[in-house]
Protein backbone atom coordinates (compact mmCIF):
# COMPACT_ATOMS: atom_id res chain seq x y z
CA UNK A 1 0.00 0.00 0.00
CA UNK A 2 1.46 3.36 -1.01
CA UNK A 3 2.00 5.85 1.77
CA UNK A 4 1.27 9.56 1.93
CA UNK A 5 3.11 11.41 -0.82
CA UNK A 6 4.28 15.01 -0.56
CA UNK A 7 6.13 17.34 -2.86
CA UNK A 8 8.40 19.14 -3.04
CA UNK A 9 10.65 17.72 -0.31
CA UNK A 10 12.62 20.94 0.05
CA UNK A 11 11.92 24.55 -0.89
CA UNK A 12 13.90 27.74 -0.39
CA UNK A 13 12.23 31.08 -1.08
CA UNK A 14 12.68 34.75 -0.29
CA UNK A 15 10.32 36.44 2.16
CA UNK A 16 7.19 37.87 0.55
CA UNK A 17 7.28 35.19 -2.17
CA UNK A 18 4.54 32.57 -2.58
CA UNK A 19 4.89 28.83 -2.22
CA UNK A 20 2.62 25.80 -2.58
CA UNK A 21 2.87 22.28 -1.24
CA UNK A 22 1.09 19.21 -2.53
CA UNK A 23 -0.15 16.11 -0.70
CA UNK A 24 -1.62 12.84 -1.94
CA UNK A 25 -3.08 10.80 0.95
CA UNK A 26 -3.37 7.04 1.28
CA UNK A 27 -6.04 5.77 -1.09
CA UNK A 28 -9.45 5.69 0.53
CA UNK A 29 -8.54 7.89 3.50
CA UNK A 30 -11.27 10.46 3.96
CA UNK A 31 -9.47 12.61 6.52
CA UNK A 32 -6.45 14.74 5.65
CA UNK A 33 -4.36 16.93 7.96
CA UNK A 34 -1.70 19.58 7.44
CA UNK A 35 0.71 20.12 10.35
CA UNK A 36 3.49 22.70 10.74
CA UNK A 37 6.60 21.67 12.67
CA UNK A 38 8.94 24.50 13.65
CA UNK A 39 12.42 23.47 14.75
CA UNK A 40 12.46 22.46 18.42
CA UNK A 41 8.67 22.21 18.66
CA UNK A 42 6.13 19.46 18.12
CA UNK A 43 3.97 19.46 14.99
CA UNK A 44 0.97 21.81 15.17
CA UNK A 45 -2.25 21.27 13.24
CA UNK A 46 -2.98 23.90 10.61
CA UNK A 47 -6.06 22.43 8.95
CA UNK A 48 -8.10 19.23 8.86
CA UNK A 49 -10.30 18.08 5.98
CA UNK A 50 -13.01 15.46 5.96
CA UNK A 51 -13.42 14.54 2.28
CA UNK A 52 -13.38 18.00 0.66
CA UNK A 53 -14.85 19.89 3.62
CA UNK A 54 -12.90 21.75 6.31
CA UNK A 55 -13.33 20.30 9.82
CA UNK A 56 -10.85 22.45 11.74
CA UNK A 57 -8.83 25.44 10.57
CA UNK A 58 -8.73 27.31 13.87
CA UNK A 59 -4.93 27.53 13.90
CA UNK A 60 -4.46 28.41 10.21
CA UNK A 61 -3.16 31.98 9.71
CA UNK A 62 -5.80 32.80 7.17
CA UNK A 63 -4.31 36.13 6.15
CA UNK A 64 -1.48 34.29 4.41
CA UNK A 65 -2.20 30.55 4.42
CA UNK A 66 -4.83 28.77 2.34
CA UNK A 67 -5.57 25.13 1.65
CA UNK A 68 -7.92 23.19 -0.51
CA UNK A 69 -8.85 19.60 -1.13
CA UNK A 70 -10.72 19.50 -4.38
CA UNK A 71 -12.53 16.23 -5.14
CA UNK A 72 -11.70 14.98 -1.66
CA UNK A 73 -8.35 13.41 -2.60
CA UNK A 74 -5.21 15.54 -3.21
CA UNK A 75 -4.63 18.69 -1.24
CA UNK A 76 -2.54 21.82 -1.66
CA UNK A 77 -1.36 24.22 1.02
CA UNK A 78 -0.32 27.71 -0.06
CA UNK A 79 1.51 30.51 1.70
CA UNK A 80 1.25 34.00 0.22
CA UNK A 81 3.26 36.03 1.12
CA UNK A 82 5.79 34.03 3.12
CA UNK A 83 7.43 35.38 6.27
CA UNK A 84 10.68 34.36 7.92
CA UNK A 85 8.75 32.64 10.73
CA UNK A 86 7.12 30.30 8.21
CA UNK A 87 10.38 28.36 7.96
CA UNK A 88 9.33 24.89 9.10
CA UNK A 89 8.57 21.36 8.00
CA UNK A 90 5.05 21.01 6.61
CA UNK A 91 3.65 17.55 7.21
CA UNK A 92 0.62 16.02 5.59
CA UNK A 93 -1.18 13.10 7.25
CA UNK A 94 -4.24 11.03 6.48
CA UNK A 95 -6.52 8.66 8.35
CA UNK A 96 -9.48 6.53 7.41
CA UNK A 97 -11.69 7.80 10.23
CA UNK A 98 -12.00 10.85 12.47
CA UNK A 99 -11.77 9.11 15.84
CA UNK A 100 -9.10 10.32 18.24
CA UNK A 101 -7.76 6.77 18.46
CA UNK A 102 -7.40 6.34 14.71
CA UNK A 103 -3.81 6.23 13.48
CA UNK A 104 -2.69 9.15 11.35
CA UNK A 105 -0.20 8.23 8.63
CA UNK A 106 2.33 10.90 7.76
CA UNK A 107 4.17 11.84 4.61
CA UNK A 108 7.87 12.78 4.63
CA UNK A 109 7.13 16.49 4.81
CA UNK A 110 8.28 19.57 2.92
CA UNK A 111 11.10 21.50 4.53
CA UNK A 112 10.58 25.21 3.80
CA UNK A 113 13.30 27.78 4.32
CA UNK A 114 12.32 31.45 4.01
CA UNK A 115 15.27 33.82 3.58
CA UNK B 1 -5.39 24.06 25.15
CA UNK B 2 -4.11 20.55 25.82
CA UNK B 3 -0.67 20.57 27.47
CA UNK B 4 1.56 17.65 26.44
CA UNK B 5 5.04 17.52 27.94
CA UNK B 6 7.89 15.17 27.10
CA UNK B 7 11.11 14.56 28.97
CA UNK B 8 13.97 14.53 28.59
CA UNK B 9 14.34 16.83 25.60
CA UNK B 10 17.36 14.86 24.36
CA UNK B 11 19.19 11.72 25.31
CA UNK B 12 22.54 10.23 24.29
CA UNK B 13 23.12 6.56 25.04
CA UNK B 14 25.57 3.87 24.05
CA UNK B 15 24.65 0.95 21.83
CA UNK B 16 23.18 -1.80 23.99
CA UNK B 17 21.89 0.53 26.72
CA UNK B 18 18.24 0.42 27.64
CA UNK B 19 16.46 3.74 27.92
CA UNK B 20 13.10 5.27 28.65
CA UNK B 21 11.34 8.58 28.32
CA UNK B 22 8.14 10.16 29.54
CA UNK B 23 5.05 11.81 28.12
CA UNK B 24 2.88 13.75 30.60
CA UNK B 25 -0.65 14.98 29.95
CA UNK B 26 -3.76 16.15 31.83
CA UNK B 27 -5.36 13.13 33.51
CA UNK B 28 -8.91 14.39 33.19
CA UNK B 29 -11.05 13.38 30.17
CA UNK B 30 -8.38 11.20 28.59
CA UNK B 31 -9.28 9.64 25.25
CA UNK B 32 -6.14 8.23 23.59
CA UNK B 33 -2.37 8.65 23.32
CA UNK B 34 -0.21 8.17 20.23
CA UNK B 35 3.52 7.49 20.08
CA UNK B 36 5.48 8.25 16.89
CA UNK B 37 9.09 7.78 15.85
CA UNK B 38 10.53 10.35 13.45
CA UNK B 39 13.88 9.68 11.82
CA UNK B 40 15.62 12.51 10.00
CA UNK B 41 14.43 12.98 6.40
CA UNK B 42 11.77 10.28 6.80
CA UNK B 43 8.04 10.19 7.56
CA UNK B 44 6.96 10.06 11.20
CA UNK B 45 6.13 6.42 11.89
CA UNK B 46 3.25 5.39 14.14
CA UNK B 47 4.41 3.15 16.98
CA UNK B 48 1.44 2.76 19.32
CA UNK B 49 -2.06 4.02 20.03
CA UNK B 50 -2.98 3.56 23.66
CA UNK B 51 -6.46 4.00 25.05
CA UNK B 52 -6.89 2.12 28.34
CA UNK B 53 -5.38 2.77 31.74
CA UNK B 54 -2.74 0.13 32.39
CA UNK B 55 -2.26 -0.55 28.66
CA UNK B 56 1.08 -2.06 27.75
CA UNK B 57 2.11 -2.35 24.11
CA UNK B 58 5.21 -3.86 22.54
CA UNK B 59 6.83 -3.73 19.11
CA UNK B 60 10.15 -5.52 18.92
CA UNK B 61 12.49 -3.90 21.44
CA UNK B 62 10.18 -0.93 22.02
CA UNK B 63 7.38 -0.99 24.57
CA UNK B 64 5.06 1.55 26.15
CA UNK B 65 2.90 1.81 29.23
CA UNK B 66 0.02 4.10 30.07
CA UNK B 67 -1.26 5.53 33.36
CA UNK B 68 -4.30 7.71 32.68
CA UNK B 69 -5.08 8.32 36.36
CA UNK B 70 -1.79 10.10 36.97
CA UNK B 71 -1.39 11.37 33.40
CA UNK B 72 1.76 9.80 31.99
CA UNK B 73 3.07 7.27 29.50
CA UNK B 74 6.52 5.72 29.38
CA UNK B 75 8.30 4.56 26.25
CA UNK B 76 11.06 1.98 26.76
CA UNK B 77 13.74 0.84 24.35
CA UNK B 78 15.62 -2.30 25.32
CA UNK B 79 19.17 -2.74 24.01
CA UNK B 80 19.31 0.47 21.96
CA UNK B 81 20.78 0.27 18.47
CA UNK B 82 22.10 3.11 16.29
CA UNK B 83 19.06 2.70 14.04
CA UNK B 84 16.87 3.68 17.03
CA UNK B 85 18.26 7.21 16.78
CA UNK B 86 15.26 9.42 16.11
CA UNK B 87 12.87 11.88 17.70
CA UNK B 88 10.10 10.19 19.66
CA UNK B 89 6.85 12.14 19.78
CA UNK B 90 3.74 11.61 21.82
CA UNK B 91 0.42 13.17 20.88
CA UNK B 92 -3.13 13.30 22.17
CA UNK B 93 -6.45 14.10 20.51
CA UNK B 94 -8.83 16.62 22.12
CA UNK B 95 -10.37 15.72 25.47
CA UNK B 96 -13.86 16.22 24.09
CA UNK B 97 -14.21 15.13 20.48
CA UNK B 98 -12.29 15.22 17.22
CA UNK B 99 -9.06 13.74 15.95
CA UNK B 100 -6.62 16.65 15.68
CA UNK B 101 -3.46 15.71 17.57
CA UNK B 102 -1.59 17.93 20.01
CA UNK B 103 2.06 16.91 20.07
CA UNK B 104 4.71 17.22 22.71
CA UNK B 105 8.07 18.66 21.72
CA UNK B 106 9.60 15.21 21.46
CA UNK B 107 12.60 13.39 22.89
CA UNK B 108 15.60 13.29 20.56
CA UNK B 109 17.45 10.01 21.05
CA UNK B 110 21.00 9.46 19.79
CA UNK B 111 22.50 5.99 20.09
CA UNK B 112 26.25 5.94 19.73
CA UNK B 113 27.92 2.79 18.29
pLDDT at residue A71, as a whole number: 87
Q: Answer yes or no: do B105 and A42 touch at CB < 8 A.
A: yes
Strands (E), chain B: 5-7, 10-14, 19-24, 33-38, 45-50, 56-59, 62-67, 72-77, 86-92, 102-103, 107-112
CA proximity to B29, closest of B55, B6, B47, B3: B3
Could you say which DSSP state residue A83 is in?
-
Q: Chain B residues with CB-CB distance to A under 8 A?
A: 4, 31-32, 34, 36, 41-46, 49, 51, 89, 91-94, 97-106
- The answer on pLDDT for A1 being more than 70 is no
How do residues A46-96 score in pLDDT, each as one tens digit? 999 999 899 999 999 999 999 999 888 999 999 999 999 999 999 999 999
Q: Answer yes or no: do B51 and A101 touch at CB < 8 A.
A: yes
pLDDT at residue A97, as a whole number: 84
Please report, in tens digits, the pLDDT of each residue of chain B (113 residues total).
Answer: 789 999 999 999 999 999 999 999 998 888 999 999 999 999 999 999 999 999 999 999 999 999 999 999 999 999 999 999 999 999 999 877 788 999 999 999 999 99
Tell me which chain A residues have a C-beta less than 8 angstroms from the C-beta of B104. 42
pLDDT at residue B10, as a whole number: 97
Rounded Cα distance between A36 and A44, Å, is 5
Amino acid sequence: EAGVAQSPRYKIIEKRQSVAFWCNPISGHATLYWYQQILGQGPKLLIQFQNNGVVDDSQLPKDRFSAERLKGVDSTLKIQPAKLEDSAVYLCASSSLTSGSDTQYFGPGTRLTVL
Amino acid sequence: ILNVEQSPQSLHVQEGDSTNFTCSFPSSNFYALHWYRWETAKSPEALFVMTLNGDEKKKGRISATLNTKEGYSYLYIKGSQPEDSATYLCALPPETSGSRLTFGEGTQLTVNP
